Amino acid sequence: MSDGERYCLIVNKGDDMPLYYPNLFITSVLRKKRVSVSTVEIASSNIIALMRFLNRNKIDLEERISTGQYFTLVEIEDLVEVLRRNLSDLKKKKKLLPIDNHVAKGTFGYRIHTICTYLKWLCDIIHKANGINDKRKVNSFIDNIKANKPNPKSYKNFKAKEKTLNDEQIFTLFNLLEIDNNENPFSSDVRLRNRLVFLLLYHLGIRAGELLNLKIIDFDFVKKIVTIKRRHDDKSDIRKIQPLVKTLSREIPLKEELIDAVYDYVFNDREEHAKNKIHDYLLVTHGNGKNKGEPLTVHAYEKIISTIKDKNFILNNLSGHMLRHSWNYAFSRSVSKDKLKTCSEDKLRNYLMGWSDNSKMCEVYNRKFLVETEKEVIKSLYDYRNRILAGK
């Protein structure tokens, strides 16, 4: 929009016309809450899943609501199964989805929450317009769908995947990204930029949105610090999908070699590719296309990641966010050696990660270190008890 706000619409695939009620819901309910465009996009995708279910089963939802003929139990079961599936393959125009291709419980639960909120809102809108009072049946209808929502406590009843890169993977990654390495999968004109991308992720522990939001002005080359800033709905950002900074603004100190790498890129590669572009974003698009010199997009960033995954089997599960987890693991190891008090450690970690003082996110990102510590504690307990049994 003219003020920089990003927005999205749900349109009919046949004629590209916006769907009335879904977009009214997005505008009057979600936008009113001032949630991020990424949240709106996720909610919109959930509603699209409902629309596809309705189309497939030839259900006229507005007519059903007007006549008080809501979903049958069989239809609710069918809808729930649709919401449980991984729908990403639909973007690839696949008509059939694997039976066991289910999403995480949290994702499934949020889909049900979105659909129930939308259906309750739609019933209220249609009933008020037609002078209908059917709250009891509406509540029963919504409750029958909500009953399938998993208990939040069950989200944790599974072993989370390891999200931290091990030492071998980190070594392999940066060895692969060496400028002169013949195995480097990137063309010579983007090697310096792509290596810088991973240096910043690895040393700063920042998110992809924070990385792509960095501007040259954010770097103080004298004091050797970088400022992470929130720039939601920035009019100067021409990217349709604006990379967002989810966490708080903060200053992070930089090591000498990192500030040198940034300086080298800014006054060499970037200067060559963005000399005719009026913007201050650090990372830019290279090459000779029409987008040359424009801010690096989320899609281009993801392409960099996928190229590395395809190149080396050791890195086939690579994601940029894994480097954030690796940063937190290294942080825990470092402060543990320095015997920093736990309360001070958590406050420092929260600041450097951009979390609030009361945030519990450190427990999530510190999982690997806690698991290792737990094993060490249990081993020491066994040793202690064995010494007692041995009379030592």
pLDDT per residue as tens digits for the range 209-218:
999 999 999 9
Q: Does 25 score more than 70 pLDDT?
A: yes
Q: What is the pLDDT of residues 287-344, one digit of tens each?
A: 888 889 899 999 999 999 999 999 989 999 999 999 998 888 887 777 665 555 655 7
Please report which residue ranges of 214-360 form alpha helices under DSSP H. 256-265, 271-273, 298-311, 320-337, 342-353
Q: Does 378 score more than 50 pLDDT?
A: no
Distances in Å between the alpha carbon of 169 and those of 158, 174, 290, 308, 329? Answer: 25, 9, 35, 12, 14
* CA atoms within 13 A of residue 17's CA, in its CB half-sphere: 5
Which of 32 and 154 is assigned the larger pLDDT? 32
Q: What is the pLDDT of residues 66-85, one digit of tens each?
A: 999 999 999 999 999 999 88
Cβ atoms 31, 15 nearer than 8 A: no
**Least confident among 89-103, 174-188, 306-320:** 89-103
* CA separation for the pair 7, 233 (Å, rounded): 10
Q: Does 61 score more than 90 pLDDT?
A: yes
The position carrying tokens 């629309």 is: 51
One-letter identity of residue 26: I
Q: What is the mean pLDDT of residues 128-135?
A: 90
Order of strands across the sheet with 250-253?
A: 219-220, 225-228, 250-253
pLDDT number for residue 48: 93
Beta-carbon contacts of 104 under 8 Å, excluding residues fewer than 6 positions away, are 155
The position carrying tokens 């007692």 is: 388
Q: What percent of the chain has pLDDT over 70?
A: 84
Comparing CA positions, the residue from 311, 285, 115 lying closest to residue 212 is 285
- Stated as kind and residue range, the H or E segment containing 91 is none
Q: What is the pLDDT of residues 198-256, one digit of tens each?
A: 999 998 889 999 999 999 999 999 988 999 988 887 887 888 888 888 778 888 888 88
- Per-residue pLDDT band for 373 (boundaries 50, 70, 90) equals low
Do β-strands 250-253 and 225-228 pair in parallel, antiparallel, or remain unpaired? antiparallel
**Least confident among 93-102, 121-130, 160-169:** 93-102
Cβ atoms 189, 287 nearer than 8 A: yes
Distances in Å between the alpha carbon of 48 and those of 45, 253, 263, 319, 372? Answer: 5, 44, 45, 27, 43
Q: What rounded mean pLDDT belongs to the chain?
A: 84
**Least confident among 2-11, 43-52, 172-181, 309-318:** 2-11
The position carrying tokens 């737990």 is: 374
* CA separation for the pair 243, 296 (Å, rounded): 10
The position carrying tokens 């999403």 is: 103
Comparing CA positions, the residue from 327, 301, 322 lying closest to residue 196 is 301
- Stated as kind and residue range, the H or E segment containing 175 is helix 167-176
Do β-strands 219-220 and 250-253 pair in parallel, antiparallel, or remain unpaired? unpaired
What single DSSP character describes residue 252?
E
Cβ atoms 50, 56 nearer than 8 A: no
pLDDT number for residue 156: 58
